[in-house]
Chains A and B, each alone.
Chain A
Amino acid sequence: MDTLPAKLALARTVGLAARASGRGGGTSLPGRLLLRLDARALQRLASQLSQGRYVISATNGKTTTAAIAASVLERAGRQLVRNTAGANMAGGIASTLLAATRADGTLSGDCGLFEVDEFWLDSVSGQLRPDALVLGNLFRDQLDRYGELESIAARWTALVRDLDQATALVLNADDPLVADLGRDRDAAIYFGVEDDRLALPERQHASDATHCRRCGHAYVYDAVYLGHLGHYSCPGCGWQRPVPVLQARQVTLDGTSTASFTLVYGREQRPVRLKLPGLYNVYNALAAAALCVRAGVELDTIADGLESATAAFGRAETIELDGLAVQILLVKNPAGTNAILQTLALETGALDLLAILNDNIADGRDVSWIWDADFEPLVPHVRHVVCAGRRAAELALRFKYAGLARDRLTVEPELSRALDIAAGQAHGRLFALPTYTALIELRAELGRRGAASPYWSDGA
């Protein structure tokens, strides 16, 4: 006898109890319980998703890529079941599927869209059996949580080796660590940027993947766009960046508000104007577009969906606080922070910042990464920074050693007071740069002030 319905009911009850206890936000408890009751629950539930199952992973951009893909897939008429950023490990995904299950055991959607933590990808994707697996990038992340980049790259290599041939690999051609995964596979779908005007003078400081994964020779770059993303080749074994079938050309970056580019797919092209800023979001949009191509969506629908996509939770979203525009830009590792600092430096006028550094487990307890991020180019654009959070002083120190004058720095660890100071000083707009748990706290604080809703009611 199949006992899955009973297990679902039990796990659901626990979830309701947890929510009622006021713990809130992204709880993975019911999902974890469900997986304890039935180790194959993910597979059994996900197999009902007849219009496709899509999995996205990357160090940076998972949540935004999923949000953009959702904008397209919903436009194409798919009924989505998708998880949130706070629920991107096995338990969270099981919770998502559980929440989408009706009383009769059928799912309320027909298409699964899941962002998956890069460390959980192998176990989770084996169960979800995706139609496409989108791998965006691999950067140095929180080392105390994830270990070395190489160990994730090795896990992904093993994952790809064992991947079902029915799963299409969608890879970033510009990230050599990611592109290399498609080397022994016939039908990988590559996306990438083709615009030499964007090339940086040199690789950014915390760039990884300097040496070829196959032969150990140092890569040679014709163009570097972001971290170690760019156009590269290996003189040792002759490996070249694959020519992407989906490309962004004529990229124009407009401060922290928009980015536009020409989306090229084979012989077709469409102009796209994103409501999201920065080159990193152009990459996210390309990844989402490649996923949707694989899902059989028309190029016109894809372009429309890209244009209507809005910022995901804490990813360049703007919240109004008593007439002050507060734009929130999550920072969590050197490459992601560099992308955001680069984008902020495109803004005209002096910037007021509220930078919040926590060292809770979800942030990474090791805050050394702030010294790997390039704060230096931002400093000339800064009017004032209020540093907050559990490691506020060290963040202030990072700004100081990047060249920011002491009188432009305020240290106030306590978030509510820091927000008061920052809002009081800001000239019409404030950029908030929180780490992950600081983002949750900031959204809650803005909510208390009537400016934002608590994040678990944020939808998907």
Chain B
Amino acid sequence: MSEPERLRVCALYPDLMNIYADRGNLLMLRHRCQWRGMGFELTGAGIGEPIDADGADIYYMGGGQDRDQELCAADLVAHKLEALRSAAARGAIVLGVCGGYQLLGHDYQLGGRVLPGIGLLDVRTVRSEGARLTGNVAIEVDLPHAHERVLAGFENHGGRTQLGERASPLGRVLRGHGNNGSDGYEGARQGTVIGTYLHGPLLPKNSWFADWLISSALGGLALDPLDDELEEMAHAAARVAAGL
């Protein structure tokens, strides 16, 4: 008999980059693996702590307050850049939500200051003087081997993100603002690196996407179905809240 499959998740700055209930995303991944009899291993890496480029199948970074995001930006570049680059190069999933998304790009301009990013996504973000982009949001995505096409969530960001040539948008905005409130796109994808402004949190509102991440991170593993009645109701309610 072969070893049961095991998902290894590394949360980046779980104590600082967690403002939009990012724990909900990690809970979804954990339970949906465990209910299928799969192993689940969660590690965290805080300020000053190195990460293992081969140690996880999914690297996750959530959002933080400005001050915390600034601390993490400097630390990412100093301590985690090389490992994350090589993890992405070997096909590990790197998922950034909200502030985490911004830091996966080249940089984030906040007034006179520029926070460095790690450039895994060819995107740049600029803090706008205008109103924060806040509200329920739904986007249409087209992901390989995925049967579902809609992600619903909540966005709340002051930064406007523009995509460069090498990044594709994660999806097309159906309702809400998206990357910058003007070009109709949301999030970014570049190989196995994914960034999005959808929190709320993202995965409890889109259990199919949690499964897509698990499957993709484990080389396209086929997953047993689960009783997702409540998950589907929550997804439907999030779509309705966004106006779909």
Contacts and interface: CB of A to CB of B under 8 A. Distances in A.
Contact of A368 (B24, B31, B241): B24
A143 interface: yes
Nearest to B199: A368
Interface string B16-46: 1011110110011001000000000000000
Interface in A348-402: 359, 365-372, 390-394, 396-398, 400-401
Nearest to B241: A359
Given A144-B156, A394-B204, A365 B231 contact: no
A396 to B, nearest CB: 5
A150 interface: yes
Nearest to B158: A147
B21 A369 contact: yes
A397 B231 contact: yes
Interface in B207-244: 227, 230-231, 233-234, 236-238, 241
A33 to B, nearest CB: 26
Contact of A409 (B136, B204, B205, B230): B230
A205 interface: yes
A398 B132 CA distance: 28
Counting contact residues on chain A (CB < 8 A from B), the size range is: 35 or more
Interface in B40-90: 65-68, 71
Contact of A390 (B18, B66, B233, B237): B237
Nearest to B15: A210
Nearest to B68: A211
A227 to B, nearest CB: 14
B108 interface: no
B21 A370 contact: yes
Interface residues of B, number: 36
Contacts of A444: none
B31 A365 contact: no
A205 to B, nearest CB: 6
Contacts of B234: 391, 393-394, 396-397
Contacts of A406: 227, 230
B31 A411 contact: no
Nearest to B67: A150
Contact of B24 (A140, A147, A216, A371): A371
A393 B233 contact: yes
A458 interface: no
B231 A149 contact: no
Nearest to B24: A371
B156 A397 contact: no
Given A368-B199, A409-B230, A143 B204 contact: no
Nearest to B236: A393
A148 interface: yes
Contact of B135 (A334, A365, A390): A365
B65 A368 contact: no
A150 B65 CA distance: 7
Given A393-B236, A394-B238, A366 B230 contact: no
29 contacts: A140-B19, A144-B134, A148-B65, A149-B65, A150-B65, A150-B66, A150-B67, A359-B241, A365-B135, A365-B136, A365-B154, A365-B241, A366-B20, A367-B154, A367-B200, A368-B199, A370-B21, A371-B24, A371-B204, A391-B237, A393-B233, A393-B236, A393-B237, A396-B230, A397-B230, A401-B24, A401-B28, A401-B204, A409-B230
Interface of A: 140, 143-144, 147-150, 205-206, 210-211, 216, 334, 359, 365-372, 390-394, 396-398, 400-401, 406, 409, 411
Interface of B: 15-16, 18-21, 23-24, 27-28, 31, 65-68, 71, 132, 134-136, 154, 156, 199-201, 204-205, 227, 230-231, 233-234, 236-238, 241
Given A205-B23, A334-B21, 5 more contacts: A365-B241, A393-B233, A394-B204, A397-B231, A401-B27
